[in-house]
Structure 1
Amino acid sequence: MTEREQEVLRLLREDPMIPQQELADRLGISRSALATHISSLMRQGYVMGRGYVLREGPYAVVIGGANMDICGRVHGELRGGDSNPGWVHTAAGGVARNIAENLARLGSDTRLITAVGNDPHGQRLIEASQLAGINMRHVLVLDGQPTSCYLSLHDGSGEMLCAINDMSILESLTPQRLAPLDGLLGAAHALVLDTNLSSQSLGWLFDRYGHLPLFVDTVSVAKVEKIRPWLPAIHTLKPNRLEAERLCGITIAGPESWPMVAAWFHRAGVKRLFLSLGGQGIYYSDGEQQAHLPVLPSPVVNVTGAGDAFMGALVHAWLQGMPMDQSARFALACAALAAGSEDTVFAGLSRAAAQRVLEEYPC
């Protein structure tokens, strides 16, 4: 599905009876161009006949952080206490939001639940996410609170020198505010949580929806402890080496330790583990099937968004009914596409693009 087709589909989901001319005007394209996109969506099965009747299918709900990424990079060496020539780049970010964008770009029906301020950053986050195909209808927009921001400063080589994150608005995503969305959450075919959520909200979600496939992104070593009491409720967990060590207490020194770590997590109740090993690739296990896959030898430009692409691909693969080994390879291909892009989320992500990567770099 192209970016334009995703935009058409988003508008049709909001108003299936929208007149064709109005739809074309909102997109800023001609009616003939719109007809071409509609025909393509019909061939793909997303639009079913007249009246823009939309295909109903499985959907995922992603809950967690969304923030504006503000990155500053000096041209040369940073001089403290002075104004440094360089460039500043802003983009929509946040772990949950990035996972949701990857998932939507792969063609999955994706709804994001997060909190943003009623400010320019919040509006930009919503607009950028909608353009990427994410359903943002249930985002909490709050007056008097700033939208989450992640501010980083880098030297001329790209190395991060320091960063500041302000994600306090996520504390507003309480069980009381999530409870009215019970119908949406309970009917989801997958729930994706990141540990930027408060312990209280995570506990409420695990307790209430533990019967659903729950995918968890651990985010960081500092935040991974939040999920320790709820490991038995987790369907799919994707920690990196340090996050896994923090939870299981086993030093991950080499290949001989990977099965031991997986066994610990399965005893704790986690159904599927995808252990990120950095440059060594991934080790996956469901207790019966396990394997190690190396990183694909594709070009690397920016690894920042690779993990989010990997998780988004895992969720998409689950919704599509892919077996675990195929899911792991597909997710690695999506991560490789993200790592080969300057942007955190690769705008050209698709199942076809991932398949081309696997054909070029089989694993």
Structure 2
Amino acid sequence: MTHDPDILCIGSVLWDVIGRAPVHMRQGSDVPGRITRLPGGVAMNIAMTLARFGLRPGLLTAIGQDPAGHELITACRELGMVTDYVYRSQDLPTDQYMAVEGANGLIAAIADAHSLEAAGDKILHPLVSGILGSASDPYEGFIALDGNLTQRLLENIAQSPLFARADLRVAPASPGKATRLMPFLTHDRAVLYVNLEEAGLLCQTTFETSADAASGLLARGARRALVTDGGESASDASADGVITQKPPSVLVTRVTGAGDTFMAAHIAAEVSGSDRNTSLSRALHAAATYVSGGNAQ
């Protein structure tokens, strides 16, 4: 049965395999720790946080018809997501992400999102067919979009009439994919969520603070930009000015997914009608709770 979603999450939904150790690590380290396998991916991480805030996210992604895919679909439904619109490929395996984290943060990661990239614009079919929208009657509402899609597909989305009425919230999957978001830098309906490094890559420079980075993105044509800088600060820049806040100090136990949690909590706050200062504060507290090992809500 189809349920109308409150927000669409477009991008990677996969299995996260994360190895975490409670000690500092470096290249070649071999230490005891814990290995977990959980639903992940940028779109999935955003959707999970949105669901914890009481919203009903719909997923537009590619998931295989293999056992891992069937298991992932079941997990998504149990977590409160609408999976009716997911592209289920017969010949593409379910994607996965593998990372190693130490007490000093992320050590290394490999994202295998080849199936999502191979599926291409097939994942957007519900926005074309009239199920969720069409070129003549585009989808209206919030869309969280992640940079795991191919450069070509992101460029097409930036120009497509299918997104002409949407409130687009856009984030890179990683610094290595930040420049894929160039088409949204001057988009008149996009809000960018990036970290300090990603902002520098988009602006082809280096920034010292989140406020400088957010202002720099606006100077390059962004309508609005939110920039995080770990435990230092986060800034929200728009035509109404720049606001900056410092996140709560917490003991960091995990980092993978923190930026996605920040973005989702910020969207949820704005959906509920919170102002910019309150929304930024709620997002920072949710991200701090997440990295300290709790569930943001």
TM-score relative to the length of structure 2: 0.85
Hey, what does 1:314 align to over in structure 2? 266
| d(CA) in 1 for partners of 2:229, 2:108 | 24
1:125 and 2:72 aligned: yes
The aligned length equals 286
Structure 1 segment 74-153 matched on structure 2, within 5 A: 87-153=34-100
Distance 1:194 1:241, change over 3 A: same
1:240 and 2:195 aligned: yes
Equivalent residue of 2:7, what SS?
Answer: strand
| d(CA) in 1 for partners of 2:8, 2:192 | 16
Equivalent residue of 1:174, what SS?
Answer: helix
1:285 and 2:237 aligned: yes
Equivalent residue of 2:231, what SS?
Answer: helix
| d(CA) in 2 for partners of 1:201, 1:161 | 30
Q: Report if the CA contact (8 A) 1:231-1:269 is conserved.
A: yes
Hey, what does 1:65 align to over in structure 2? 12
Distance apart, 1:91 and its partner CA? 0.8
Question: What is the alpha-carbon root mean square deviation over aligned residues?
Answer: 2.9
Indicate the structure with greater helix content: 1
Hey, what does 1:192 align to over in structure 2? 144
Equivalent residue of 2:148, what SS?
Answer: coil
Select the structure of larger CA radius of gyration.
1
Indicate the structure with greater strand content: 2
Distance apart, 1:207 and its partner CA? 1.5
Distance 1:151 1:279, change over 3 A: same
Distance apart, 1:341 and its partner CA? 1.4
Point out where structure 2 has 5 or more consecutive residues left out of the alignment. Answer: none
Structure 1 segment 133-212 matched on structure 2, within 5 A: 133-153=80-100, 162-182=108-128, 183=130, 184=132, 186-208=138-160, 209-212=163-166
Structure 1 stretches of 4+ with a deviation exceeding 6 A read: 74-78
Q: Report if the CA contact (8 A) 2:143-2:169 is conserved.
A: yes
Q: Report if the CA contact (8 A) 2:60-2:123 is conserved.
A: no
1:79-98 deviation digits (Å, cap 9, x = unpaired): x8x9x976532111111111
Hey, what does 1:227 align to over in structure 2? 181
1:252 and 2:199 aligned: no
Distance 1:211 1:92, change over 3 A: same
The one-letter amino acid of 1:246's match is: L
| d(CA) in 2 for partners of 1:325, 1:295 | 13
Distance apart, 1:115 and its partner CA? 0.6
TM-score relative to the length of structure 1: 0.70
